[in-house]
Copies of this chain bind each other. A is one copy, B any other.
């Protein structure tokens, strides 16, 4: 029996219609759809995005427990555990779709298991998706980069010195997972003479409390909050 192939599939930032044609085709024709969850029985955000637009008849949907403790060592360990689980299906000749929010190459847990599964002699393929910051920039109708400008993408880990570095040196800065740091980042902008009107908040896109717009100081934002900071106003006239 020939071995199955593992597909890591980015499903985009939240709108089911932002799935690619390729993602839809593969999820519908592969044997198994793995739903990455923190604990058994949960529905992953990636799975809720896919469900309204793909036909899952004939597809075996499985839960793949993939804990997230925020410690990078753990991710590799979880990748091996989840990889062995996936290999059970691949070794039976089944093709597996593993769906992931946004794009697969941007902060995705899939990469931790891809290398492991490939190392065990199985074929893998990555299907890119739209990253959340592109989805957010589109909603806000602002460019991330124009002309010769640069863009820095930084995660807002607590006290991450790279946020300051990026604000010092880059025209455009995307801060991901920034929900809890908005106040602190506004302070860093103030210290650098960057007005708070240069920040666009993209929060919980696709969820009932979605918000895209200027920052409201003092307001609370959820975990899935991305900030786009553009140091220079851009106008054609």
Contacts and interface: CB of A to CB of B under 8 A. Distances in A.
A90 to B, nearest CB: 16
A108 to B, nearest CB: 7
A61 interface: no
Interface string A147-169: 11111111101001010011001
23 contacts: A10-B134, A10-B138, A17-B20, A17-B22, A18-B22, A19-B20, A19-B21, A20-B20, A72-B148, A103-B130, A103-B134, A103-B138, A104-B138, A105-B145, A108-B143, A112-B146, A115-B236, A129-B130, A130-B134, A131-B131, A145-B153, A150-B153, A162-B169
Interface of A: 10, 12-13, 15-22, 24-25, 53, 72, 75-76, 79-80, 103-108, 111-112, 114-116, 118, 124, 126-131, 134-135, 137-139, 141-155, 157, 160, 162, 165-166, 169-170, 235-237
